[in-house]
Structure 1
Amino acid sequence: MGDVGGPVFPGIAGKVALVLGSGGGIGAAVAERFAAAGAEVVLHARSSTAATDAAAARIAAAGGAALPVAADLSDPSAGDRVVGAAIAWRGRLDVLVNAAGIQPVKPLAELTDGDWRAVLDTDLGAAVRCTAAAARVMLPGASVVHIASIEGSQPAAGHAHYCAAKAALIMFARSAALELGPKGLRINTVSPGLISRQDLAEAWPEGVRRWQAAAPLGRLGTPRDVADACLFLASPFASWITGHDLVVDGGVSSHPTW
């Protein structure tokens, strides 16, 4: 499985992992990283499965197992359906990674109720529904990891709805960790900083320059950086970690604000 990202990772091989938002970016990196570590992966996309079909083919070519599924997570029944797909496929679910979300930019004074509801329902509501569905079938030792953001604690202009949703997601995960811990389930979040993507430096050069100047490690993050954090939190190396928000931002949060 080294062709899709690296060697088998202790405690992950043979696990069944459902990765929400596997169609691109962070979600795709997470799905392929877990597959490379030896997990059998359910690749979720909102509608079109073209990207997840291609990722599943790469995983299969490298000797792994993957199942693409499609579901609009704003549908109240979608959580049960995607979790049910994993159960029907392999009979269990060991890891849920929620990388599904949207990040629109709009000034606060121009936000409509529809704008607000779209972000809250996608970035928070889907997490609640899918966590509840997973909790009904997961066995002790299973793990849920939600992709939050450093904007859950540090605001950004034009992102009021997104920042609010990610802050709520972090607290939701802590609440779920409290409630589901006695059942042997661990719930954590990963909060990435600015993650590189195609053409970002060209589209937002001043922002990239500011980030690189502020970050002690001097670079943007990569989807693989986030995927590795998820892999760690889902592994036995994190067996006594729950209700935690793991910040993956190259140290930018440590930069003085004055």
Structure 2
Amino acid sequence: MRLLEGQVALVTGASGGIGRGIALRFAQEGAEVALHCRTAVEPARETAERIAGLGGRAVVLRGDLTDDGVCARVVREAAEWGGGRLDALVNNAGVQPVRELAGMTAGEWRAVVDANLSSVFACTQAAAEIMGQRGGGSVTHIASIEARQPAALHAHYSASKAAVVMHARSAALEYGPYGIRVNTVSPGLIGREGLAEEWPEGVRRWREAVPLGRLGAPENVGDACVFLASRLASWVTGHDLVVDGGVSARPTW
């Protein structure tokens, strides 16, 4: 029996990178997967085709999750597609711009908070209403190790991800009586095509610092999300699961 056999899941920001890795791992473990994207429809459709090639079932849902009404619509459409059920939500959609604090505008700050935090709030609220009526479910937010250890030029991103971790803990407290578990996964540096060429110094420093000696892969994050959505984590809620190859264990002095 696969770990997520029979589940209906929604993965936001599922058109590429980490989101695609999560969606594929969910499908491999038996879940039917609703793939959300904002503008990258073709990559999302390609992921849906890959899932179909695995013998699974997937649908692409489009929307701008900085609008709370759109969040509610996407969640509702996922549940309707799933026959009225939604067992798992992975809040992966987000942005990671680079900007120094001294020159950052309030609009730039709000854009990151809306994309990374407010969307998590709205999608979780909509999903919890559906899950609560059916006896429970699992919600996983994709946070970051920058929630604990900020990086230069990422103040808005780091602050939003720290808030995502605390939202999960608060939601775990309030939604627990309804059988809904809420957790976070905090990845370290996840590899993608072209990253080593675009940021050679950063990749080099990461590889020197990380105990396991490599960058992460999207499926590593997907594995963590599968675990948290599965029966193996039935007594796990309010937890932040760090997936960073051990780099957070490195001394800073």
* TM-score tier (shorter): over 0.9
Deviation at 1:199, TM superposition (A): 1.0
Secondary structure of the structure 2 residue equivalent to 1:189: strand
1:179 maps to 2:174: yes
Deviation at 1:48, TM superposition (A): 3.6
Superposed, 1:9-24 pairs within 5 Å as 9-10=2-3, 12-24=4-16
Deviation at 1:219, TM superposition (A): 0.7
Amino acid in structure 1 at the alignment position of 2:191: S
Q: 1:190 aligns with which of 185, 206, 212?
A: 185
1:125 maps to 2:118: yes
Q: Paired residue for 2:74? A: 82
Superposed, 1:81-230 pairs within 5 Å as 81-90=73-82, 91-138=84-131, 139-230=134-225
Amino acid in structure 2 at the alignment position of 1:106: R
Deviation at 1:61, TM superposition (A): 2.3
Q: Distance in 2 between matches of 1:39 and 1:87?
A: 13
- The count of corresponding residues between Structure 1 and Structure 2 is 250
Superposed, 1:226-245 pairs within 5 Å as 226-245=221-240
Q: Distance in 2 between matches of 1:221 and 1:61?
A: 25
Q: Distance in 1 between matches of 2:212 and 2:46?
A: 33
Deviation at 1:80, TM superposition (A): 1.1
1:39 maps to 2:69: no
Q: Distance in 1 between matches of 2:101 and 2:40?
A: 31
Percent identity of equivalent pairs: 60
The structure 1 segments of at least 4 consecutive aligned residues displaced by more than 6 Å after TM superposition are none
Residues 170-190 of structure 1: CA distance to partner in whole angstroms, max 9, x if unpaired? 000000000000110000000
- After TM superposition, the score normalised by the length of structure 2 is 0.97
Q: Distance in 1 between matches of 2:38 and 2:9?
A: 17
Structure 1 unaligned residues grouped into runs of 5+: 1-7
Secondary structure of the structure 1 residue equivalent to 2:68: coil
- Considering only aligned residues, what root-mean-square deviation do their CA atoms show, in Å? 0.9
Q: Distance in 1 between matches of 2:135 and 2:216?
A: 32
Q: 1:215 to 1:48 in 2, by over 3 A?
A: closer
